[in-house]
Amino acid sequence: MKTLLLFLLVPATVFAAQGTPVSGVEFIAQSVSPVAAGAAGLWRTSGNRLRCRRTDTTDGNLTMATASASAAGPSSASPLRLYSASLIPQAAAPTGCAGKVCLWLNLSGVAQLHATDNSNTSICIDSLSGGGVPSRYSPKYAAFIFTPQSVSPIRSGQDGLWLDAADGVLKEQSSAGSQYRVGCVPGCQVATCAYTVTGCAAPTDSDADGLNDAWETQGGVDIDCDGSIGAADFSFPVGETPTVGTKDLYLRIRAMAAAAGTYDLGFACTVDEDCVLGGDGFHNWCETGTGLCSDEPPEGHATSTAAITLLQAAFTAKGIVLHVDSETTGTIPHYSSLQFFTDDGCGAFGASYATQIKVAPYWDTKMEGVYHFAVFAHAWCAQPSVTGVSEIYSDDSLVTLGTSSFSFDATTRATMEAGTLMHEFGHQLNLTHVPIDRQPNVLSVMNYRYQFNGIYPADVPETDPPTILTTTARVDYSSFAMTTLDEAHLNETAILQSGSNDTVTFNCPNAAPRRGRAGSKIDWNCDNDGAIDTDVQVNINAQSGAAQVMPGKEEWSLVSYRFQCAPSTVGPQP
């Protein structure tokens, strides 16, 4: 009965080949397309998105197009109320569209927006193929000619198209009353900072974490832009949905499986304890099948749970939620070396990161723009000795500890893995290395001095050297720009960071490592005189060359979240 009333409300003139002027076109939401199979037309989803229906029954969203303002004044006519509208293919814009804004369908089946300057712009993401058979649910038109309006003629609570007299732009009104140029869809796949559609307001990212508010509230990224999160879209994992007002970061970690490894051929085993107690300290895992002690554990290069906990704790302390998707046993086949980028300059290598690692099932392309990715691998082919590699401000990293971390106890291994992962992740977040290699006064995993060992709190009251309060170090980026150090003129009475009980490590004149407390005097020349010297020269970072000036550096405020919009122009960084 509703269909019959629809046809009765539409005047016969609307079937004329030249189209009929309308103040607006209002679409009634449908759970499925009312455009008949084989027809081409427009309809509104129950998710309140206007769709272009193809003759092959697939749909594309309306996308932005600009139309100049018509000289005609606003119409007071009510909008047509439709389930859908089938457009009859035309060889050119109907003559009635001349100098006006109208919607029409060309012979290739592509919906066109005709502007007052008589230019035409395609407005569907997917082309409408062929000339469709009119649907029995909707009238057919040569075109819709829009009369400019000073305010939207679309009724409250309805979704439709109308022409704004103020700027001459064809606009879509949502059922919530929002107005967009055709195709300006918040929650769609484009990140806030990359949103460059002319005339469209960028989606809001109120907590500046690189995730649009719409993504955070709707539970995912509307990749197909149909107004709802479905199978074709990205959905945040259950229990890991971001919150508007809180910075959220997402990191996916995958790892190589165990290799055959190397063996302690002189020592047989039945359990791991045999290798730990009687082995050489490097082959600590009893490999099933060979009965030999191996240098690789059965879980391969998979990150330890303790390392993930340390990493997340660093971000939690700053009010940032780091969501980590990791695995307890490596699933990537073991390769002795990886090519990170095609211009690495490697000769032979085991596998390519781009074509063999960042692919399914280890990576899902739906995660692009949301997740960072890190792979725990054996070695980077370009520099096999480094512990990792990343690009600056990107979403890709390798952590390449090889077998070095396996020879340590679980606590030390966790700190090494967490520090190295946080170092490479820091590059993804736009952090660079510290000003001077291994300088004592930047407490950060971006400093090679603290990458493996972490940062320890010291005793209060102070002793010299300070007593470490815990066997577990933390991993961190620098929270303070500490006092500048000049190796040629070190003042032992100067305080690096008032109130801090963190320890700094440095090298004595004989290069032996020593600790000092950042919040008190430090005996730089290690003469145990109570740190009273005010002008001594010491090579405190044990690097060759002349004495260096070492400025402090604060890093947390330098963390950048919107990697989606800043493709790295800086080459791989260890």
Q: How would you label 245-263 residue by residue, b for 16+ Cβ within 10 Å and e otherwise?
A: eebbbbbbbbbbbbbebeb
CA distance linking residue 474 with residue 459, whole number of Å: 16
What's the chain's length in residues?
574
Other Cβ atoms less than 10 A from the Cβ of 476: the count is 24
Beta strands 503-507 and 513-517, pairing class: antiparallel
Name the strand (E) or helix (H) holding 3: helix 2-9
282-326 per-position pLDDT tens digit? 788 888 888 888 888 888 899 999 999 999 999 999 999 999 999
**CB under 8 Å to 218, separation ≥6 — which residues?**
187, 228, 229
Amino acid 510: pLDDT: 95
Amino acid 224: pLDDT: 65
Beta strands 351-352 and 338-339, pairing class: parallel
Amino acid 192: pLDDT: 64
457-477 per-position pLDDT tens digit? 987 767 778 887 777 799 999
**CB under 8 Å to 91, separation ≥6 — which residues?**
106, 107
Amino acid 181: pLDDT: 62
CA distance linking residue 429 with residue 325, whole number of Å: 18
Check: CB of residue 164 under 8 Å from CB of residue 38. no
Q: Residue 99 carries which side chain, given as an amino acid letter?
A: G
The ranges of the chain with pLDDT < 70 are 1-21, 23, 36-40, 46-50, 54-56, 60-84, 86, 109, 116, 122-140, 166-169, 175-176, 178-202, 224-227, 260-261, 279, 407, 461, 566-573
Indicate the Cα dihedral angle 263, 267, 272, 277, nearest 10°.
Answer: -120
- Output the CA–CA distances (angstroms, integers) from residue 87 to 11, 31, 102, 103, 355, in the order listed: 16, 21, 12, 9, 44
CA distance linking residue 563 with residue 193, whole number of Å: 9
CA distance linking residue 413 with residue 308, whole number of Å: 12
Q: From the centroid of its chain, how far is CA 222? A: 15
Amino acid 15: pLDDT: 30
CA distance linking residue 146 with residue 149, whole number of Å: 9
